[in-house]
Structure 1
Amino acid sequence: MTPASDTLLDGNHTVLTPEYVEFRFTLAGIYSRFLAWLLDALIVIFGTSAVLIVLNLVMAFFPGVASALSIVVYFLVDWGYAITLETAWSGQTVGKRVMNLRVIQESGVRIGFYHAALRNLARPVDRLPLLYLVGGITALVSRSHQRLGDMLAGTIVVRERRLKVPSALGTSGEEGLLADPLFVARVKKLSTEEREVVLSAALRREELRLEARLQLFSALGTRLQEVLAMTKPAHLSDEKWTLLVAAALLPPPGSKRKLPGARSRAIAGA
């Protein structure tokens, strides 16, 4: 597939942080989103069927009520499935996880219940008149590939990047600090979001322009001194300091860590 066709299918979404650091996201194309929806739809159909079998057995003597109830059950399972999983899995359902897709806010941060509920409650409109025709056309003409539900909730669907964490991040010569139990213990107490930001910045620093790279690591260096309650050694640059924190977070050699597709906030502006 040519780069041009990739751009037409996927596209990009850029977020500019208050520190003027750019994070770029690869937008999910219509084809991959359709496959994810198809898998989720099959799960919902089978789940609804299982629930209805039980209800029909219970409501065998009230066929009219069972018929009306089946419609209610379908929508409850359909909405409940998507809203619950996208809230619990930070913007993913089974279909999206299989296709390496994720729903995030336009600002680049993860979604919550409010966003998941809004984008999924709008699905009946997006489905009109059949097979998401309204939603599909809206996504095709939208700059960020948003269906109506996404526009309402302020969300986008992006491709996740899976990166292998290297065994080292250019921290040679600073093994003494990495061997300091106090430093390592405080680093391990960083929140999940803070860890994602540090590791994502460390692994993607080569993708940034020099000015943006300096601004990002300056903000990260200052913030890490605050959250770790430690002063950065005078001989270390902000980038080197951040890389040491990232190195302390690395898993054992040979393992892999899944990193967000630039969905994290700049830590200083979080």
Structure 2
Amino acid sequence: MTDTPDTLLDGTHAVLTPEYVEFRFTLAGIYSRFLAWLLDALIVVFGTGVFMTVLSLVMVAFPGFGSALGIVIYFLVDWGYGIALETAWSGQTVGKRALGLRVIQQSGVRIGFYHAALRNLARPVDRLPLLYLVGGVTALLSGSQQRLGDMLAGTIVVRERRLKAPSALGATGGEGLLTDPLFVSRVKRLSAEARELVLSAALRREELRMEARLRLFSALGTKLQELLAMEKPAHLSDEKWTLLVAAALLPSPSAQAGGRVRGAA
């Protein structure tokens, strides 16, 4: 695999699967992360302002208490904003979505509430003494551009790229299974990690060397038979079997043909 210019500029994070196949993610640079934070900060300040307007009567009657309450509310909104959105949007806030960034685990899978909470609760330390100086310096010195919160949560921030769903994704020779309710329902019950691995393998298979490609799909084919409790049709190769599962994960045939599937790079 060759490195693209943005990969060379921002750095990469490599994830080695149990099948010894390497996937690369393009790390988000300090500048793009700062812009995303700036947009999120404006939203938090605006949201806090709206909330404090509602409590303006309390602040007039008790100015000292009102000021202290305002600081507490700001931190609650700030923490809650990041934790809630990164959990609900799989590692994105409004700012990150606008800049095409996403927080993922170092293992390459999406984050959950635990990771979002840890990285956001550490923000007050990263912000010291102002404008994320501690976090910025830590990220520059870190090999994976992680601030302290990312180190604590085991997360990284990567650039997203949109990968076009291959036209051959559903043309595997086993399209009949896509109309089988039992097959589709079992595919839909796959874990988030299994779904991401299947879709990543399907979308990036052309980037892999042939030996790694055969090894990956051989392992995936066997694993999917176990997870789905179904035998692979004899006429399908391991790769085509995996592509059939990937096709069942996509929203609809029209989305498979013309849509775009998001992937972190």
Q: For this structure pair, what is the TM-score category when the shorter chain's length is used for normalisation?
A: 0.7 to 0.9
CA deviation string 1:42-89 (max 9, x = no partner): 000001111111112233211111111111111111111111211222
Q: Which residue of 2 aligns with 1:221?
A: 221
CA deviation string 1:17-42 (max 9, x = no partner): 22212111110011110111010000
Q: Matches of residues 7-26 of structure 1 in structure 2 within 5 Å?
A: 7=7, 9-26=9-26
The amino acid that maps onto 1:239 is E
More deviation in 88-97 or 42-51? Answer: 88-97
Aligned-residue offset at 1:175: 4.1
Using structure 2 for the length normalisation, give the TM-score. Answer: 0.88
CA distance in 2, matches of 1:92, 1:116: 10
Q: Which residue of 1 aligns with 2:27?
A: 27
Secondary structure class of the residue paired with 1:259: strand
Q: Which residue of 2 aligns with 1:99?
A: 99
Q: Which residue of 2 aligns with 1:252?
A: 253
Q: Which residue of 2 aligns with 1:267?
A: none
Q: 1:233 to 1:162 in 2, by over 3 A?
A: same
Q: Which residue of 1 aligns with 2:147?
A: 147
**How many residue pairs end up in the alignment?**
260
The amino acid that maps onto 1:209 is R
CA deviation string 1:107-151 (max 9, x = no partner): 222222222222122212211222112211221221101112112
CA RMSD of aligned residues (A): 2.3
Secondary structure class of the residue paired with 1:159: strand
Q: 1:72 to 1:195 in 2, by over 3 A?
A: same
Structure 1 residue ranges without an equivalent (≥5): 263-270
Percent identical: 80
**Is residue 196 of structure 2 the alignment partner of residue 196 of structure 1?**
yes
Structure 1 contact 168–247 (Cα < 8 Å) conserved = no
Q: Which residue of 1 aligns with 2:128?
A: 128
Q: 1:5 to 1:19 in 2, by over 3 A?
A: closer
Structure 2 contact 28–158 (Cα < 8 Å) conserved = yes
Runs (4+) off by over 6 Å: none
CA distance in 2, matches of 1:5, 1:178: 39
CA distance in 2, matches of 1:187, 1:81: 33
Structure 1 contact 217–239 (Cα < 8 Å) conserved = yes
Structure 2 contact 11–27 (Cα < 8 Å) conserved = yes
CA distance in 2, matches of 1:92, 1:173: 37
Structure 2 contact 163–263 (Cα < 8 Å) conserved = no
CA distance in 2, matches of 1:119, 1:75: 14
Q: Matches of residues 66-105 of structure 1 in structure 2 within 5 Å?
A: 66-105=66-105
The amino acid that maps onto 2:35 is L
CA distance in 1, matches of 2:104, 2:175: 37
Q: Which residue of 2 aligns with 1:117?
A: 117
CA distance in 2, matches of 1:181, 1:255: 24
